[in-house]
Structure 1
Amino acid sequence: MPTLAPTNFNIVVSVLGGWISVFGLVSYLLKENFYLSEALISLLAGLVFSPHAANFVRPLEYAGSEENLNAITLYFTRLVLGVQLVLAGVQLPSRYLKKEWKPLALLLGPIMTAMWIITSLLVWGLVPNLPFLHALAIGACVTPTDPVLSNVIVKGRFADHNVPKDLQKIIIAESGANDGLGYPFLFFALYLVKYIGDGGVNEQGGAGLAMGLWFGETWGYTILLSVVYGAVVGWIAKELLHFCEEHKFVDRESFLVFAFSLALFITGTCGMIGSDDILACFIAGNVFTWDDWFRLETLDDSLQPTIDMLLNVTIFMWYGAVCPWHSFIANSIIPIYRLIPLGILILLFRRLPLILAFYKKIPQIYGFQQAVFMGFFGPIGCSAIFYLYATLEFIDTLNPNQGSVARWDVAHLKESVSVLVWFMVICSVVVHGLSIPLGKFGFYLPRTISRSLSSPEDLSFQIGARIIPRSRSRDGTATHTSADSRSVSVRPVYKVGGSIITEHTGTTADATELVESRDNLEAGSKPLELVPGSPHSTPSPTLPSRTIRFPDEASSAGKEFQDPKRDATTAS
């Protein structure tokens, strides 16, 4: 007899699949018209479905314990960052890290170090009774800029129209590289906490051992080994794929998915040897496309942005469900009236003053406005969550005797780093996710009101994404442009993957003959034949209500309406 089975698996799969489907139906409207990021929308959706609201998604119940939940979040974050950083490395042009090493060295060296110090000082100054070493650890977690959230400003229509390509590339390279370089800042503080903290009397070695471990393990084993390992694996993978593609050993599907499998392999193997899998993935992605071959081969493919979207939506839904929202108000570390100003000050002073001070030495930044843009958009996201849970794992090792309570000086460190890092991530997702739409709204609203008050009869009216202006007749009366007129430009039609299908324009007579031909076809008459090279050789008119075209949609009425010029080119 059929019975209801509302198990955890069924509920999670239903919620995830339903949300992705609903979001996909309006994704173009939200991202390209309203400039809303999928990270912000998915984070809010995760909050709605979490135990704090609808209680559909119950992460703690699935994990069984707080330790298991932390481990799941850490591993999920590692997986997403590994895939995203390989894709970030693949997106960069040939030998980009070698060609642009000077501005990258400035961004990853003095600027990133100053970001860490400024953030730590703000945390230390506004959080009561917080030791400075703890503030250094918290500041290190939120220092790297997030590559997942950086996609909001380097992809899409806003980036195409407002962000130069050189600036997009340097943002991708910086956000990819500094994710893995957060380890030295974090473990500089954690080793000092362990060996010279107030409760570190049980640890032998002091500051000398702490610095020895920092140079040896962190810089030598974690950073340098990951760079070498990522470069070697990326180079071998490139050569193997070249050889197999030349000899027709690999099919198209396996070719396209090769970058993702490479990311999984590096993430797993680096995790086994205890190295920096995040940095290794980024280096491997760069070396993998060192000759630009793989990047150009997959330039018009839609698989990479599709996987990118699925990972972004899923990970931020999970963050919305597991985030300790209640701890922002009910905690023993910092009151809410200090927490909110701290978030605002970190977003304003963590990065922006440094970019403004050094932007003239970064050739990809062409002026003060671009410096403000790059300085403000340094988001805090998945990388901060990764370092948060890496810190929590390290704190567990500070328990000198198994089964006893933790050291008294780090008794509140877990709560401090959890509350502050999670709040910084939420602030960044919300502020950076709403900055572009609010900026657009604040720019256009005063101009619209001014026009409506000054000359209301000349105001254009908007249909969907197109503005159709009014025109004046000879007698001075205002008239609307006819909906049937071909003088109004139709917005670009996009393929899946983002490439624009070129539209061929024709005269009004051409469009009329095509409409008559379609009517004759529906009535059973012989359609109009279009002779190549004739003035009437115009393709079938585009459908204005569609925003996506698939490669097999050559025409909407049959082969009779295909463009002969395109057919001749294809045949040749």
Structure 2
Amino acid sequence: MPTLAITNFNIVLSVLGGWISLFGLVSYLCKENFYLSEALISLLAGVAFSPAAANLIKPLEYTFGSQEDLNTVTLYFSRLVLGIQLVLAGVQLPSRYLRKQWRPLLWLLGPIMTAMWLSTSLLIWGLVPKISFLEALVVGSCVTPTDPVLSNVIVKGKFADHNVPKELQDVIIAESGANDGLGYPFLFLGLYLLEVTWGAGEGGKDIKGAMGLWFGETWGYTILLSVVYGAVVGGGANKLLHWAEERKFVDRESFLVFAISLALFIVGTCGMIGSDDVLACFIAGNAFTWDDWFRLETLDDSLQPTIDMLLNVSVFMWLGAVCPWQEFLVNGGVVPLYRLVILGVLVLMFRRLPWVFAIHRFIPQIEEVRQAIFVGFFGPVGVSAIFYLYITLEFLKGREPREEVEHLAEVVKIVVWFLAICSIVVHGLSIPLGKLGFYLPRTFSRGVSVTSDGREFLPPIRSRVSTLVARRPRRNSGDELPATEPPSSDTRRSVYRIGGSVIPQGPAHGNPDIKTTTADLGGLAMGADGSSSAVETDLESPSLPGRTIRFPDESLVIAGPTTATEPGPAGAQHADST
């Protein structure tokens, strides 16, 4: 007789699959209309399914009640996500980007990152009780790198297309990718100096030995080796893929997944040799597309954005479930809650914004003051901070048990988790709240007028409906709409598929095979005389092979005026765009 098997494995699969499916049904509405990222939404879902709420996701049970094993799982999961994300980030950058744009990156990764580290450490030192400045440097280094996962929120989607120039998007991607791996020197400088003060330092237990370890092991073995290794593996993989593709040895599926498998290989091999796998992945991704070949070949493919979305949803659900929420409230007086709240506000305000604003004139991609404020504010703390948190706990676990070590482990856990949650929530809500604050007063002022005697007056419903109908093109109809001003070729906008790739649009965009017909499209094509007719892309065109539906981000904008029309089988008119 069948029996219920309510096991943790079945529950996790049901919750994860059900949540991704439900979120997918409204994903475009959330991300492109309300500007909410899957990171924030998935974090809240993880909290809702965690042991503190619905108790459907039980992380501690998966590691048989061992907190150390749970820390290890979280560390490895964050490594995996960062590795794949950073290879994809490197692949997104234009050809030879790191060599061409090394000056602005040097400003961002040098003075600005150092100022972020020191300012955050000073705030932690001033607000966290019973902590030395060296210990504050260790805690501050964990939240210094900007998170590449959360940075995607501001460099992808409709908001970025309308508000962030492409050059600025690229420099944000490059900075968030590179400074993730460069967090090691900041972290281990504080840890090695702390070992000296604790009397347990290696290499002579003095400052000279600590600095020797920092330069030799951290900079030499961890950083430089990872850069060389990533460049060699990425460049070699590019040559091998070229060789296989020229001889028709590789199929389309393997070609598309090559960058992701490369990330898995680098994370595994760098983990075995103990180097910086995060930095190696970013360098390898950029070296892999150094000649721009792979990036351009996969520009219209949605596999990479799909994997990116699945990883984002999964990792932030996990973070929401494993976050030590209770310790924010009750932590034995290590860090009182009111101090954590003040620290979160001050870190978000002064960790990055003043320094980017101060030297933005030296970064050509930041052309205006508002762009400097934007780049300075959006320096999110997320998965990378959790990664460095557990690197720190792993380092401290191997040291002699003493009160100072245990206190630092408790402080870094509480502070880094709290700052990461603050950043995810604040940066996740900043764009929608900013949009709401900008449009809400204008909406009220347009929708409500005041008569001379002070009474509020709304326009008649009939006039509002007629205005809406007049502005909205009719679909599935051959009826002509009132003529409007013909679109100019200078105002054409790119059209994007799901995932963000650009849909070629006719000969003007280098694709003469694409045809536009009124039988398929509900848009408007303008004739030479100013008349308009409903046209749409032929679904058999190379840009949409075999597709019978279009998604909201695939709406077509006609490339230019029509040159000829001919009667169609259903009374519609076919128009070929020029």
Instruction: Sort the TM-score into its range (normalised by shorter chain).
Output: 0.7 to 0.9
% identical aligned pairs: 66
Is contact 2:518-2:575 (8 Å) kept?
no
Residue 433 of structure 2 corresponds to residue 431 of structure 1: no
Query: Match for 1:551: what amino acid?
Result: P
Deviations 1:215-235 (A, max 9, x none): 110000000000000000001
The 3-state SS of whatever aligns with 2:291 is coil
Match of 2:413 among 418, 424, 427: 418
Between the aligned partners of 1:317 and 1:295, the Cα distance in structure 2 is 30
1:368 corresponds to which residue?
A: 369
1:315 corresponds to which residue?
A: 315
Distance 1:229 1:431, change over 3 A: same
Tell which deviates more after alignment, 164-173 or 332-341. 332-341
Between the aligned partners of 1:483 and 1:538, the Cα distance in structure 2 is 8
1:72 corresponds to which residue?
A: 73
Deviations 1:69-109 (A, max 9, x none): 00100000000000000000000000000000001011101
Distance 1:457 1:111, change over 3 A: same
Between the aligned partners of 1:542 and 1:451, the Cα distance in structure 2 is 39
Residue 215 of structure 2 corresponds to residue 221 of structure 1: no
Deviations 1:139-191 (A, max 9, x none): 00000000000000000000000000011000000000000000000000011
Match of 1:552 among 531, 546, 549: 546
1:450 CA drift (Å)? 2.0
1:537 CA drift (Å)? 9.6
1:552 CA drift (Å)? 1.4
Is contact 2:195-2:201 (8 Å) kept?
no
Is contact 1:540-1:555 (8 Å) kept?
no
Distance 1:246 1:513, change over 3 A: closer
Residue 19 of structure 2 corresponds to residue 30 of structure 1: no
Between the aligned partners of 2:278 and 2:233, the Cα distance in structure 1 is 14
Between the aligned partners of 1:398 and 1:164, the Cα distance in structure 2 is 48
2:54 corresponds to which residue?
A: 54
1:241 corresponds to which residue?
A: 241
Between the aligned partners of 2:316 and 2:546, the Cα distance in structure 1 is 34
Residue 183 of structure 2 corresponds to residue 189 of structure 1: no
The 3-state SS of whatever aligns with 1:52 is coil
When the two structures are aligned, how many residues end up with a matched partner? Answer: 516
Is contact 1:196-1:207 (8 Å) kept?
no
Is contact 1:329-1:335 (8 Å) kept?
yes
Query: Match for 2:364: what amino acid?
Result: P
Is contact 1:537-1:564 (8 Å) kept?
no
Residue 136 of structure 2 corresponds to residue 135 of structure 1: yes
Is contact 1:78-1:278 (8 Å) kept?
yes
Distance 1:353 1:540, change over 3 A: closer
The 3-state SS of whatever aligns with 1:105 is helix
2:20 corresponds to which residue?
A: 20
Distance 1:305 1:514, change over 3 A: closer
Query: Match for 2:370: what amino acid?
Result: Q
Match of 1:496 among 491, 498, 507: 498
Distance 1:185 1:501, change over 3 A: closer
Between the aligned partners of 1:23 and 1:427, the Cα distance in structure 2 is 23
Distance 1:203 1:159, change over 3 A: same
1:497 CA drift (Å)? 2.9
Is contact 2:352-2:379 (8 Å) kept?
yes
**Aligned pairs for 1:270-281 within 5 A:** 270-281=270-281
Between the aligned partners of 2:78 and 2:95, the Cα distance in structure 1 is 28
1:414 CA drift (Å)? 1.1
1:31 CA drift (Å)? 0.2
Between the aligned partners of 2:460 and 2:301, the Cα distance in structure 1 is 38
**Aligned pairs for 1:326-345 within 5 A:** 326-331=326-331, 332-345=333-346
Query: Match for 1:326: what amino acid?
Result: Q
1:129 CA drift (Å)? 1.1
Between the aligned partners of 1:342 and 1:551, the Cα distance in structure 2 is 53
1:413 CA drift (Å)? 1.1
**Aligned pairs for 1:448-463 within 5 A:** 448-454=443-449
1:230 corresponds to which residue?
A: 230
Between the aligned partners of 1:201 and 1:297, the Cα distance in structure 2 is 51
Is contact 1:47-1:321 (8 Å) kept?
yes
Between the aligned partners of 2:225 and 2:517, the Cα distance in structure 1 is 68
Distance 1:482 1:318, change over 3 A: closer
Is contact 2:334-2:411 (8 Å) kept?
yes
Tell which deviates more after alignment, 408-417 or 84-93. 408-417
Query: Match for 1:553: what amino acid?
Result: R
The 3-state SS of whatever aligns with 1:160 is helix
Query: Match for 2:406: what amino acid?
Result: A
Is contact 2:125-2:136 (8 Å) kept?
yes
Deviations 1:12-48 (A, max 9, x none): 0000000000000000000000000100000000000
Is contact 1:537-1:563 (8 Å) kept?
yes
1:408 corresponds to which residue?
A: 403
Between the aligned partners of 2:460 and 2:286, the Cα distance in structure 1 is 48
Between the aligned partners of 2:197 and 2:111, the Cα distance in structure 1 is 26
Is contact 2:93-2:286 (8 Å) kept?
yes
Is contact 1:460-1:470 (8 Å) kept?
no
1:131 CA drift (Å)? 1.3
Q: RMSD in angstroms over aligned alpha carbons?
A: 3.1
1:532 corresponds to which residue?
A: none
1:333 CA drift (Å)? 1.1
Q: Which runs of 5+ in 1 are unaligned?
A: 400-405, 462-467, 472-477, 505-510, 516-534, 544-548
Distance 1:340 1:229, change over 3 A: same
Between the aligned partners of 1:367 and 1:492, the Cα distance in structure 2 is 24
1:518 corresponds to which residue?
A: none
Is contact 1:495-1:551 (8 Å) kept?
no
Distance 1:325 1:563, change over 3 A: farther
Is contact 2:203-2:210 (8 Å) kept?
no
2:563 corresponds to which residue?
A: none
1:241 CA drift (Å)? 0.3
Between the aligned partners of 2:119 and 2:501, the Cα distance in structure 1 is 42
The 3-state SS of whatever aligns with 1:3 is coil
Between the aligned partners of 1:246 and 1:237, the Cα distance in structure 2 is 14
1:452 CA drift (Å)? 2.9
The 3-state SS of whatever aligns with 1:56 is coil
Between the aligned partners of 2:460 and 2:378, the Cα distance in structure 1 is 33
Query: Match for 2:20: what amino acid?
Result: I
Between the aligned partners of 2:363 and 2:319, the Cα distance in structure 1 is 34
1:512 CA drift (Å)? 13
Between the aligned partners of 2:518 and 2:239, the Cα distance in structure 1 is 55
1:447 CA drift (Å)? 1.3
1:564 CA drift (Å)? 7.2
**Aligned pairs for 1:164-203 within 5 A:** 164-197=165-198, 200=200
1:302 corresponds to which residue?
A: 302
Is contact 1:50-1:320 (8 Å) kept?
yes
Query: Match for 2:336: what amino acid?
Result: P
Query: Match for 1:140: what amino acid?
Result: S
The 3-state SS of whatever aligns with 1:551 is coil
Between the aligned partners of 1:361 and 1:169, the Cα distance in structure 2 is 16
Is contact 1:458-1:470 (8 Å) kept?
no
Q: Which runs of 5+ in 2 are unaligned?
A: 451-455, 475-479, 485-492, 507-515, 521-530, 551-567
2:212 corresponds to which residue?
A: 212
Distance 1:137 1:497, change over 3 A: same
